[in-house]
Amino acid sequence: MVKIYHNTRCGKSRTALKLLLEVGLEVEVIEYLKTPLSSTQIQVLVTALGIKPYDLIRRGEKIFKEHYKASHPDNIDWLQAMVDHPVLMERPIIQKKGLAVIGRSPESLQKILAY
């Protein structure tokens, strides 16, 4: 079973989902904009990704530029920012067993497929 934290409006996310389905994987789709994650759930993903919460932030988003760009929140504040504004989360995040990747590149998708 593979989980994909998916944004239907994102081309990279749609491409990743299509690839996962084409190779025959059983996929659980989590549309995190419709069903926002808790800070605990996001922390679990951050840990599985091996990154800090800030590294999961989409810094090109309008909400980031308007409210967070000039600030210096700590890890807990960044987690809360993603709870409050799920659009700030990088996508797609793909999780298979104990591995998670941000599936924006062919290399990260291959890493999941080979796992």
- φ/ψ bin of 18: left (φ > 0), alpha (ψ from -120 to 50), beta (otherwise): alpha
Tell me the β-bridge partners of 30: 5
Catalytic residue (choose from 3, 10, 25, 36): 10
Rounded distance between C-alpha atoms, residue 103 and residue 6, angstroms = 10
Annotation marks residue 10 as catalytic: yes
Rounded distance between C-alpha atoms, residue 85 and residue 57, angstroms = 10
The DSSP code for 27 is E
- Which residues are the active-site residues? 10
